[in-house]
Amino acid sequence: MPKQIRVIEGSDYAKFCTLANSAFEGLNADEWLEEHIKETPKEHLYGLFKGNQLHAGMRTFDFEMNYDSTPVQAGGVGMLAVDMLHKKEKNAYQLMQYFFKLYAEKQVKLVMLHPFKASFYKKMGFGMGTKTYQFYIQPKEFPDFSKKSHLKEITSAEKGELLDCYNRIYAQTHGMTRRFAYDRELNRPFWFGRVIGYVEEGKVKGYFVYSMQGKDLHIHELFFEAPEVIKEFSTFLHSQSDQIERVILNSNFDEIVHFVNSSETGETSMIDFPSATDPKPIAQLGMGVMYRLINCRGFFKELKDKNHQFNPGVTLAIKLTIADDFYPDHARPFILDIQEGKIENIREDGLFEVEVKMNIAEFSSLVMGVESVYTYLRWGLMEISNEKYKCVLQTLFHKDCKPMNTKAF
């Protein structure tokens, strides 16, 4: 009997929830997943069946991402689970191939996921994203600016203003995904705990969501539009020194180490570090989202059609030869004609100034601005036909910040 991939519906929900709960401890999918999918039109469930038996499943997401100030469509995949009796049967491989084709048909060129094992997805062409830091900061180390007059607790009655604040920040932040005015999206911040907002003239200009776990204050979301906002948040956190021991905060960036007085975790010193100062750990470090282009040429065409601006100082004809063994449909070499940072033409042949050769995983990371051209050249993950162009290529692919992703999926 051949295997079939189809949308999860009806009695299939119970089968999918059983599978997902087995794969992800504490998920409790049977308590929320079916209702969530039915109320969230940008999320979908698919199962790989043999007859009526569910062997594997996945959850997909339709995203709008800010790509360096240009909105692009992106796909996401999560909750990829395989029945333990049917592992090592290439079920995950088949689902991922289906996922790529599904989003290619939607004219989506970029997809992403949170990895459970990076090497597994690297083989499928996913490249590393921005690392995630988890900080453990004593509240007294947050500077006291002696002002918090704009702070108030935000209630669900103000969820629309909260969404507007988030989407303004999304529009300014490379890598973030837009949120839409669905009830579950609007209510999501309130599921985690209390919401403290900075409100000025009726407008929410920043907020953070927190919960208490013992004597630790966990910040689940933190967004701010201006320095004065984070200063008042800092004053609030500083004032909690008598009640809490640590503020636990996750971030794609380590910038907060410049803002707080001290970011030491309080853990023991770093092992075998060759320094007389015996440096102290400042954060736990983890993997973030992984990215993957499923249509390189199509991605640059989308940027061209949307008049995307790369660095205006770059005028270059660049040939891109990207190896993609897992999904070779769109792996043909092509040439970009870039004039003052904008893509003027995309062609298959003709003259060019420099050729770049990379695997799809590392190229996807490069395009997202995760690391620099210099990094990939230094580690032998990128080849260029003429070394004199490495500075130009560095300028072309440079982003002002690495991609930030705050969506759990």
Q: What is the CATH number of the domain that holds 348?
A: 3.30.1050.10
Whether 255 and 332 share a structural domain: no
The count of domains in the chain is 3
Residue 408 lies in a domain: no
User: Three-class SS string for the chain?
Assistant: CCEEEEECCCCHHHHHHHHHHHHCCCCCHHHCHHHHHHHCCCEEEEEEEECCEEEEEEEEEEEEEEECCEEEEEEEEEEEEECHHHCCCCHHHHHHHHHHHHHHHCCCCEEEECCCCHHHHHCCCCECCCCEEEEEECHHHCCCCCCCCCEEECCHHHHHHHHHHHHHHHCCCCCCECCCCCHHHHHHHHHHCEEEEEEECCEEEEEEEEEEECCEEEEEEEEECCHHHHHHHHHHHHCCCCCCCEEEEEECCCHHHHCCCCCCCCCCCCCCCCCCCCCCCCCEEECCCEEEECCHHHHHHHHHHCCCCCCCCCCEEEEEEEECCCCHHHCCCEEEEEECCEEEEEECCCCCCEEEEEEHHHHHHHHHCCCCHHHHHHCCCCEECCHHHHHHHHHHHCCCCCCCCCCCC
Residue 405 lies in a domain: no
Residue 152 lies in a domain: yes
Whether 240 and 138 share a structural domain: yes
Instruction: Give CA–CA dist 171/65, Å, rounded.
Output: 9
pLDDT for res 265: 76
Q: Cα separations (Å) of 281 from 4, 11, 169, 275? A: 49, 49, 30, 13
Choose among 160, 167, 164: nearest CA to 71.
167
Check: CB of residue 231 under 8 Å from CB of residue 147.
Answer: yes
pLDDT for res 264: 83
Instruction: Give CA–CA dist 319/296, Å, rounded.
Output: 12
Residue 158 lies in a domain: yes
pLDDT for res 263: 86
Q: How confident is the prediction along the chain (409 residues), in pLDDT tens digits per residue?
A: 789 999 999 999 999 999 999 999 889 999 999 999 999 999 999 999 999 999 999 999 999 999 999 999 999 999 999 998 898 889 999 999 999 999 999 999 999 999 988 999 999 999 999 999 999 999 999 999 999 999 999 999 999 999 999 999 999 999 999 999 988 889 989 999 999 999 999 999 999 999 999 999 999 999 999 999 999 999 999 999 999 999 999 999 999 999 999 988 766 555 555 555 566 787 888 999 999 999 999 999 999 999 999 999 999 999 999 999 988 877 799 999 999 999 999 999 999 999 999 999 999 999 999 999 999 999 999 999 999 999 999 999 999 999 999 888 8
For tokens 């490249």, the residue is 127
Which amino acid, residue 278?
D
pLDDT for res 266: 67
Q: Tokens representing 366?
A: 């490069």
Residue at a domain's end among 60, 75, 108: 108
Whether 326 and 252 share a structural domain: no
Whether 162 and 256 share a structural domain: yes
Instruction: Give CA–CA dist 311/399, Å, rounded.
Output: 9
Whether 188 and 320 share a structural domain: no
Whether 204 and 323 share a structural domain: no
Residue 148 lies in a domain: yes
Residue at a domain's end among 286, 309, 341: 286
pLDDT for res 159: 94
Task: Print the domain residue range for 144.
Answer: 133-286
Whether 139 and 282 share a structural domain: yes
Instruction: Give CA–CA dist 322/226, Å, rounded.
Output: 40
Cross-strand pairs, 286: 132
Whether 179 and 238 share a structural domain: yes
Phi-psi region of 278 (alpha: psi -120 to 50; beta: other; left: phi over 0): left
Whether 25 and 141 share a structural domain: no
Whether 202 and 98 share a structural domain: no
Buried b (16+ CB within 10 A) or exposed e, 342-354: bbeebeeeeebeb
pLDDT for res 409: 84
Phi-psi region of 107 (alpha: psi -120 to 50; beta: other; left: phi over 0): left
Residue 233 lies in a domain: yes
pLDDT for res 109: 97
Whether 224 and 301 share a structural domain: no
Q: What is the pTM of this model?
A: 0.93
Q: What are phi and psi of 102, to 5 degrees?
A: -60, -45
Give the CATH number, domain containing residue 185.
3.40.630.30
